Amino acid sequence: MSGFDKVVTSYEQAMQGLEDDMTVIAGGFGLCGIPEGLIAQIKKQGVKGLTIVSNNCGVDGFGLGILLEDKQIKKMVSSYVGENALFEKQLLNGELEVELTPQGTLAEKMRAGGAGIPAFYTATGYGTPVGEGKEVKEFNGRPYILEESITGDFAIIKAWKADRYGNCVYRHTAQNFNPMAATAGKITVVEVEEIVEPGELAPTQIHTPGIYVDRVIKGTFEKRIERKVLAKEDR
């Protein structure tokens, strides 16, 4: 009766099956809500030629940025990048390809990928470089562009708590892209702060139902803050 127990105990198990040239969808916004240990494991495994789909690419030395160090990333699909010098360098060298995608379109592409919607129309990006070469159709007199969904070989997710069945909840704004990314991976791996027993999470309050999750691992997190800004009286 272990079919629903998604817990694994080593990072090797967590990322087993990851190979060169695969597509990995990663949750997180900036350095908030990122699966730190899973990213470290990808670096350790040394796989190359990865396409990474994630809103950002971390910073120098932290987050997805560490995968640049050994040139493991072939292509980034993101809405905002370049918070790191190494990224900039590899991009200008032509060692790294970037597909810039509007943030909302990126979130919707992941959701659509997980939901069996191969494509959808959006006004976002029409008439801009993002719309170039894409199908245009008018609805109620307004032009929209057709955007295709995204799925990945792996999805790597950071949640707050998960139960053994893979049901997840996220903490504060560390939710961000994680729930959509979790639906869009052929293999979805969740790194959590705490593993709880089934029943501890209220059924209506689960953000990611376990059906989307293949593996759960308990991690430890540095949770580096990108921009610490304090209230005036505390500065």
Partner 1 sequence: MALSRDQIAMRVAREFQDGNYVNLGIGIPTLAANYVPEGIEVMLQSENGLLGMGRYPSEAEVDADMINAGKETVTAITGASIFNSAESFAMIRGGHVDFTVLGAFEVDVNGNIASWMIPGKLVKGMGGAMDLVAGAKNIIVTMTHADKHGNSKLLPACTLPLTGVNCITQIITDLAVLEVADGAFHLKERAPGVSVEEIKEKTAGKLVVEGDIPEMKL
| CA 136 from centroid of its chain's CA atoms | 28
> Is residue 148 near a second copy by the rule CB under 8 A?
yes
Size (the chain), residues: 235
Is the separation of the CB atoms in 163 and 129 below 8 Å? no
Give strand pairing partners of 136: 145
> Is residue 77 near a second copy by the rule CB under 8 A?
no
Task: Identify which range of 16-24, 39-47, 90-98, 133-141 contacts a second copy by CB under 8 A.
Answer: 133-141
Quote the least distance from Cβ 65 to a second copy, whole Å.
27
Quote the least distance from Cβ 219 to a second copy, whole Å.
20
Read off the tokens for 48.
Answer: 């190359």
Q: By C-beta, is 80 or 120 nearer to a second copy?
A: 120
Q: By C-beta, is 19 or 85 nearer to partner 1?
A: 85
Q: Which of residues 108-127 bind a second copy (CB under 8 A)?
A: 108, 112, 115-123
Chosen from partner 1, a second copy, none, partner binding at 88 (C-beta under 5 to 8 Å by type) = partner 1
How many beta carbons lie within 10 A of that of residue 123, not counting itself? Answer: 12
- Catalog residues that contact a second copy under the rule CB under 8 A: 108, 112, 115-123, 137, 139-140, 142, 144, 148, 169-172, 175, 203-205, 207
